[in-house]
Amino acid sequence: MNKKPVIGALAFSLAIVMAAGIYLGLGARPQLGLDLQGGISAVYTAELPDDVETPEDFEDILDETIEVIRARVDSLGVAEPDISRSGTDVLVQLPGVADADRLQELIGTTAQLTFRKVIATVPPGAEPQPETAELPAIPGYDEGPDCTAPVDEREELGTDERGLMCGTEDESQPDPETGELKVPKYFVEPAALTGDRIDDAFAAFGQAGGLAVSLELDSEGAAEFAEITAELACERDQGFPGQGRFAITLDGIVESAPTMAPGVQCGVGIRDGSASITVGSAGSQQEQEEEAQDLALILRTGALPISLEAATFETVSATLGADSLQAGLLAGLIGLALVGVWLIGFYRILGVVAMLELAVFGVIVMALISLLGEVGFALTLAGVAGLIVSIGIAADSSIIFRERIRDEVNLGKTVRSGVQKAFTSAFRTNLAGNTVTLTAAVILYFLAVGPVRGFALMLGIATVLDLFILYFFTRPIVFLLANTRFVNRKTVRAADTAAVVTAGSR
């Protein structure tokens, strides 16, 4: 037997094991999933108005919604977010996230942004006003949406409709009759511009020193914005009742309704394609900064094509995840110990080699999982289960090889020649079995969703790694040991030929 290829294969496998060990020694660790490190798990249901039928392209709308949510979550740097669709529901799992309220608002905010001309401000207690030569009939405060109701339960105003919209709580005014603080309403025109034209959005300090979200429009949006602001500047100069005000609305709320500044010229407008939304002054400076950053993120990643309602929103504690991980690792260690005791007790020196195989398997697979964590993969409890199953796969390969060796020696071959023949037969058997397992893992990975994919991925990686170790580590070590006194008929548990002859003579 030519030892050079055998020694080369062993050196190659040991180099990989050494590299994996160094990688882990430098502090690389697997990225843990939601069920192991805690986080947020939510199910969102798409909301359609009662009088609206489900559109034909509803599935495409849901897919687009998922992409918008994924963009928002990715902007926060969440590792391995699992955002998928199950029927008409959107499943969101975010490992390692603790601020549930912030994430819930970021994910569920529709962020439908519009720019509308303000016809009039309708303060609390205002009565309806008749139509005049300059203004249409203005509804009273009691008409339109109920500004005390939750935002998602208020009457919506379509982008092509004229009507009333609620202001923000920062603008609250006392009702003349009851003295109760109520937000004002704005009587606005149909949307002149929508958030689809936003090219960028970022938090900044406004002109008054407070926090604001600065908007940059694309070229087409900038041209439309310049045209609209030019008209509003003319209305301001002519003293129209609306005073050239422009409402910036977000999800049905007038976030800001500024008057055209004196520097904006009639017929010219704002031509740099920029606008800003003032952030509310409530809360601490840090909370205002966070609000501005979140609003900028939402506007930058785009509006949700459809409104979502959280059917379930749960926070998985890190303690529960740690308990699950410890239970999984304990089960794996117990299984490994039992397999090791049996292999060493039955196969002796070749059993020790089998334990070395499992150690090599463990080092390489941990390094691979840690490396995959760098690109977003997170190990879940299902993945741990896949790794535990893979211990049996690796042990099975060892047993097949050693049983083939014993069979060949029982047929009269020497240990040295029997090992070579046994490996060819055992590798062919393992290749066939592992091909079936790998095929099942691939099918399961592409058809399943959520944690089941983690199980399939770990099973597939373990299957490929098992073949690699069998060929590049087990084969050369056993081949080399076959040339020593450590491996003989007795250590491979071959039949005692003398006893067989004696039994036959009787």
Residue 174 has pLDDT above 60, yes or no: yes
Arithmetic mean of pLDDT over the chain: 80
Looking at residue 499, its amino acid is A
Could you tell me if 182 and 147 are in contact, meaning their C-beta atoms sit under 8 angstroms apart? yes
Residue 206 has pLDDT above 70, yes or no: no
Pick the range with the lowest mean pLDDT from 29-43, 280-294, 298-312, 375-389.
Answer: 280-294
The residue-averaged pLDDT of 290-310 equals: 74
Residue 504 has pLDDT above 60, yes or no: no
Residue 64 has pLDDT above 80, yes or no: yes
Whole-number pLDDT of residue 242: 59
Name the residue with tokens 């139509």: 131
CA dihedral 361, 364, 367, 372 (to 10 degrees): -90
Phi, psi for 499 (deg, rounded to 5): -65, -35
Whole-number pLDDT of residue 503: 45
Tokens at 47, concatenated: 């909301």
Residue 501 has pLDDT above 50, yes or no: no
CA 233 to centroid of chain Cα atoms: 46
- Give residue-wise pLDDT tens across range 103-138: 777 777 777 888 888 888 888 988 998 988 778 899
Residues 6+ apart with CB under 8 A from 296: 201, 202, 203, 213, 214
What is the DSSP secondary structure assignment for residue 264, as one 8-state letter?
S
Whole-number pLDDT of residue 223: 87
Using DSSP, state whether 77 is helix, strand or coil.
coil
Question: What burial class does residue 207 get, using C-beta atoms within 10 Å of its C-beta: 0-12 exposed, 13-18 middle, 19+ buried?
Answer: exposed
CA 431 to centroid of chain Cα atoms: 35
- Bridge partners of residue 186, in order along the sequence: 121, 165
Pick the range with the lowest mean pLDDT from 31-45, 285-299, 409-423.
Answer: 285-299
Residue 448 has pLDDT above 80, yes or no: no
Whole-number pLDDT of residue 449: 67
Whole-number pLDDT of residue 236: 79
Whole-number pLDDT of residue 208: 56
∠ CA 472-475-476, rounded to 5°: 80
Whole-number pLDDT of residue 435: 92
Whole-number pLDDT of residue 18: 94
| Predicted TM-score (pTM) of this structure | 0.59
- Give residue-wise pLDDT tens across range 314-342: 877 765 666 766 776 787 778 778 877 88
Pick the range with the lowest mean pLDDT from 31-40, 137-146, 169-178.
Answer: 31-40
Percent of the chain with pLDDT over 70: 88
Could you tell me if 477 and 10 are in contact, meaning their C-beta atoms sit under 8 angstroms apart? yes
DSSP 301-342: H---SSEEEEEEEEEE-HHHHHHHHHHHHHHHHHHHHHHHHH
Highest mean pLDDT among 235-249, 295-309, 397-411, 425-439 belongs to 425-439
Please, what's the largest Cα pairwise distance for the chain? 128
Pick the range with the lowest mean pLDDT from 6-15, 205-214, 386-395.
Answer: 205-214
CA distance 255 to 188: 13
Please name each of the domains of the chain with its CATH number: 3-31+317-496 (1.20.1640.10), 39-107 (3.30.70.3400), 111-289 (3.30.1360.200)
Residue 228 has pLDDT above 70, yes or no: yes
Residue 505 has pLDDT above 50, yes or no: no
CA distance 165 to 160: 14
CA distance 487 to 201: 71
Name the residue with tokens 């496998």: 13
- Give residue-wise pLDDT tens across range 2-19: 678 889 998 999 999 999
CA distance 276 to 283: 20
Residue 304 has pLDDT above 60, yes or no: yes
Whole-number pLDDT of residue 80: 66
At 506, the pLDDT band (50, 70, 90 cuts) reads very low
